[in-house]
Chain A
Amino acid sequence: MKKLRLATLWLDGCSGCHMSLLDMDERLLDLTGKVDIVYSPLVDVKVFPEGVDIACIEGAISSAEDEDKLRIVRERSGLLIALGDCAVTGNVPAMRNSCGMDKVMATVYLDRETFNPQIPATELPTLHDQALPLHNFVKVDLFIPGCPPSADTLFTALTALVEGRIVDLHLNTRFGA
């Protein structure tokens, strides 16, 4: 059987969901016996490939770059998973939504007693005023809430997908924890 192609991405999140993937410990090697990880912060491939079977995205969408990335992933992937609360609801990154990016930047770079105070803007991506969940932009096939979802939950879900089974994740997931 041809191995499935798995991709994982980290957008506006804390990397905790990716750490939870690593928390599968040795089961990570069991999983990679069944799938090829073709794109991930853990590997050196720098262009999102074509023909991905399962893509997991951690984090909210906070910039035009995030948005472009998300659309490419959606286009090139069979199944898109919103991995963790930031991808599912916006969560902590979205806490800035009520004040807007201008105020955030002023607080961090101007209001603190910095040397050479200025708002960095040279060749840097500008951030949207709102951090928003994935489904605001594209169709999401599976939502796995949690901050982060546990390694057991991720292993159960991914193994089932790889084996073509459907599992009920309701009992294994909850928002926040």
Chain B
Amino acid sequence: MEKRITIEPVTRIEGHAKISLFLTPSGLVHDAHFQVTQIRGFEKFVEGRPFFEMPSLTARTCGICPVSHELASAKACDQLLAVTIPHTAKNLRRLLNFGQLIQSHALSFFYLSAPDLLLGMDHPPETRNFFGIAAADPQFARDGIRLRQFGQQVIERLAGRRIHPAWVVPGGVNTSLDETARATILGEIPEIKALACNHLERFKQTLAQYEEYIQVFARFPSLFLGLSNNEGSLEYYDGPVKIIDGDGALVADPLSPNAYQDFIGEAVEPWTYLKFPYYKPQGYPGGMYRVGPLARLNLASRCGTHLADRELQHFKALEQGPVSSSFYYHYARLIELLHAVEMIEILLADPTILDKNVRAMAGVNQLEGVGMTEAPRGTLIHHYKVNGDGLIEWANLIIATGHNNLAMNKGILQAAQHYIVDGTLQEGLLNRIEAVIRAFDPCLACSTHAVGTMPLVVELLSPEGNIIDRIQR
């Protein structure tokens, strides 16, 4: 007889999903499914659209990281134009990406996960949220707001608006950087850097109290995948793909983004709309890999900025070899946030950032293009084929959250096996399983989108389908 526990919807993630846990008759968890329950079908409905619409159109995949989609899309379009974009345009895109990374990481940490970390997993659900944080620790909440605001303002000052700006275009960007905007952002850097340092320090101080979560939140060896560069520093925009194994050894020579289909396969399971990318040479599901902040810090030998480099040393000392606990995604996010602030300062300090030549003009010169970038949640791939008139004939998108799909499922199973031993259902316990998902910070708006919110209902079902136990909140 098989019983099942369902957590629906998973809340405080960017999107909605449900978790199903399958129990043996004795109440042990033997399988777990992270189910994504909707799909929008961008791949289909962009067919026939002119390629130059793609950055703005695919931005609407996600209101949290529209900039990531604009960049991956524009990079694919750069290949359709067959141009090398101006140096300054590339740096402006990088700047925009760092603004995006800051706002997205601040959202994940302060707004979505801090309620679990600061108020506690067993805090009453009615106030276990950002507003509960604002009541309990107003300064913490204000700092979170400020960091997210800074990231959004970088985007606004460069691109004209915070969400879905129409500034990134095939061939570069629309307008050069305004000198006042540059001065304003630079003026705010010291304050923001201090905030980023403070909260990283504060998180490190509290790390000991999360030992339980560190042990059971998706802690296992896996491959790690991300963009790389010759310096071995953190790379978000360009470069070949690097993959390491659980021991930190390189599993393949640096791979060309354009050849992604040679090394990334996508599998389909009947119970979720989110596909399962895997590293092809190791097959499915053996070729499980992780992307995003944890993967990037595991892949890089250094961050490339002063303060973040110091932090990276501590981070790398957490475990022997690559850091394997997904709880440390939170930690990695805070280091990346600090690094992004430092990078914004470095990029803005370069006088060529004000250069007026920010766009290469061309028509369609190639019929196929692949754009790959590091979005806040990991590697993002846009792949287009067009006809001679530049109309999209075929498109494929592989979204950061998708890459982590296998690992998230395995992670939920690990946590569920730890927390549910005799089929007992408790609210705080289920929240811990949801918190595994939050550590990955999945963006389901990106991967498919959110379905309407439904009650959290946990049911134990008999083989005949009769409900034998049920809790709801």
Contact = CB atoms under 8 A, between A and B. Distances in A.
Given A65-B451, A113-B261, A107 B44 contact: yes
Interface of B: 8-9, 11-12, 14-16, 20, 35, 37-41, 43-45, 57, 60-64, 66, 107, 111-112, 115, 125-126, 128-131, 134, 138, 141-142, 145-146, 148-149, 152, 161-164, 261, 265-273, 275, 278, 284, 396, 431, 445, 449-456, 472-473
Interface in A94-147: 95-96, 98-99, 101, 103-105, 107-109, 112-118, 120-125, 127, 147
Contacts of B16: 10, 41
B41 A108 contact: yes
Interface string A38-75: 01011111111000000000010011011011100000
Nearest to A101: B41
For A15, A47, A127, the residue with the greatest tally of chain B CB atoms inside 10 Å of its CB is A15
Contacts of A17: 63
A14 B63 contact: yes
Contact of B450 (A15, A44, A46): A15
A94 B219 CA distance: 40
A125 B37 contact: yes
B271 A20 contact: no
B39 A117 contact: no
Contacts of A41: 11-12, 14, 16, 450, 453
Given A32-B131, A92-B57, A69 B272 contact: no
Interface residues of A, number: 70
Contacts of B270: 118, 120-122
A63 B453 CA distance: 12
A107 B48 CA distance: 14
A25 B63 contact: no
Given A19-B163, A46-B456, A69-B453, 10 more contacts: A13-B63, A14-B61, A14-B62, A15-B450, A46-B472, A70-B452, A96-B41, A107-B41, A118-B270, A123-B20
Contacts, number: 214
A63 B451 contact: yes
Report whether over half of chain B's contact residues are helix, strand or loop; otherwise say mixed: loop
A15 B63 contact: yes
Contacts of A48: 453
B452 A66 contact: yes
A44 B128 contact: yes
A108 B43 contact: yes
Contacts of A32: 131, 134
B11 A12 contact: no
Contacts of A103: 44
A69 B66 CA distance: 27
- Most chain A beta carbons < 10 A, residue from B57, B60, B271: B60
Contact of B271 (A59, A91, A95, A120): A120
A9 interface: yes
Contacts of B115: 44
A26 B138 CA distance: 11
Contacts of B146: 25
A46 B9 contact: yes
B428 to A, nearest CB: 11
A124 B271 contact: yes
Nearest to B265: A115
A37 interface: yes
Contacts of B261: 113
A96 B61 CA distance: 13
Contacts of B271: 120, 122-124
Contacts of B473: 44-47
B40 A46 contact: no
A81 interface: no
A47 B45 contact: no
A109 B268 contact: yes
Contacts of A29: 134, 138, 141-142, 145
Nearest to A20: B163
19 contacts: A10-B453, A11-B451, A13-B63, A29-B138, A32-B134, A41-B11, A45-B473, A47-B472, A65-B451, A66-B452, A69-B452, A95-B45, A108-B41, A112-B43, A115-B278, A116-B284, A120-B268, A125-B451, A147-B60
Nearest to B36: A124
A99 B44 contact: yes
A117 B162 CA distance: 38
A42 B149 CA distance: 17
Contacts of B15: 15
A90 interface: no
Nearest to B128: A44
B268 A115 contact: yes
Contact of B38 (A18, A113, A127, A177): A127
